[in-house]
């Protein structure tokens, strides 16, 4: 997952300064269990439809997915390598999505952030927005003593270790009528083997790593989630006025969020 699709011309810009007087309110939604991709996508679309006319505040969905490969608009057939998949592994579904970038893998132990926000309130364009998402990841990694960095023309965050360079977070976004969709994925405790069945983000030779591998010790996924939520709030100057832990029905007949409960 890397790249951005937008209904506007991307603008190269540094991280914008937002004064405290323009700090906005938002809704943070988390989920107790990994969410099927189709369910999360339906929820993104619902939030987008409500954000457009202003019936919803800017919203951040923070979740894990059940195993899935997602292919963006830059995906080529050569980026998928199913012939090397182990027959001992259960098949992983492939979902075509309308974000920028190529193919990536999502699965339990990886944190995915889907901001549904009005872009003009935070950044002058798509590239500046991606820069802000990268900043959220960089600040989160600092909390674990890691130095994450950007690589030109490849949205996402990288680390250097004794094996060389490895990617720890991917970014793929879409801006539809000024409202953002899709977002970032940070590898925390997830199994990295499924990445070997693809060319991650369409980058030949790309090695993926995780927070747990890089730290060399167990990492608390809930703690990382809280750090991402806090750093997103700091970078975007956005206060979480509502935090929701959301249960989901996942049957084909009913894929709407249920049993939402507010917490502080």
Q: Which residues contact 213 (CB under 8 A, 6 or more apart)?
A: 192
Taking the C-alpha atoms of residue 49 and residue 29, their distance in angstroms, rounded to an integer, is 17
Instruction: Pinpoint the alpha helices (H) of 123-205.
Output: 126-142
Choose, from 201, 211, 235, 238, the residue flagged as catalytic. 201
206 is catalytic: no
User: DSSP letter at 209?
Assistant: -
**Residue entry with tokens 């975007």:** 236
Note whether 221 and 212 are within 8 A (CB): no
CB 158 within 8 A of CB 43: no
Beta bridge partners of residue 261, listed in sequence order = 245
In angstroms, rounded to a whole number, what is the distance separating the alpha carbons of residues 3 and 171? 6
Q: Are 189 and 109 in contact (CB under 8 A)?
A: yes
Positions annotated as catalytic residues are: 201
């Amino acid at each position: 997952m890397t790249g951005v699709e937008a209904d506007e011309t991307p603008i190269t810009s540094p991280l914008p300064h937002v004064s405290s007087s323009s700090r906005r309110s938002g809704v943070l939604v988390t989920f107790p269990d990994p969410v099927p991709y189709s369910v999360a996508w339906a929820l993104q679309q619902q939030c987008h439809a409500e954000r457009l006319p202003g019936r919803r505040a800017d919203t951040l969905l923070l979740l894990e997915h059940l195993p899935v490969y997602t292919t963006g608009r830059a995906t080529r057939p050569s980026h998928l390598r199913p012939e090397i998949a182990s027959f001992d592994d259960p098949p992983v579904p492939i979902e075509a999505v309308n974000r920028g970038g190529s193919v990536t893998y999502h699965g339990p132990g990886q944190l995915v952030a889907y901001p549904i926000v009005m872009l003009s309130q935070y950044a002058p364009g798509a590239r500046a927005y991606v820069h802000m998402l990268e900043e959220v990841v960089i600040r989160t990694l600092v909390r674990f003593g890691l130095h994450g960095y950007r690589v030109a023309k490849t949205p996402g965050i990288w680390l250097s270790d004794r094996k060389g360079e490895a990617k720890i977070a991917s970014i793929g976004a879409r801006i539809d009528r000024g409202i953002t969709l899709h977002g970032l994925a940070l590898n925390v405790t997830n199994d990295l083997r499924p990445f070997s069945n693809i060319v991650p983000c369409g980058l030949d030779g790309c090695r993926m790593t995780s927070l747990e591998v890089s730290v060399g010790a167990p990492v608390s996924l809930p703690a990382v989630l809280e750090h991402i939520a806090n750093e997103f709030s700091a970078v975007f100057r956005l206060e979480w006025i509502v935090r929701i832990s959301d249960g989901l029905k996942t049957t084909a007949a009913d894929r709407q969020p249920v049993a939402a409960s507010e917490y502080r």
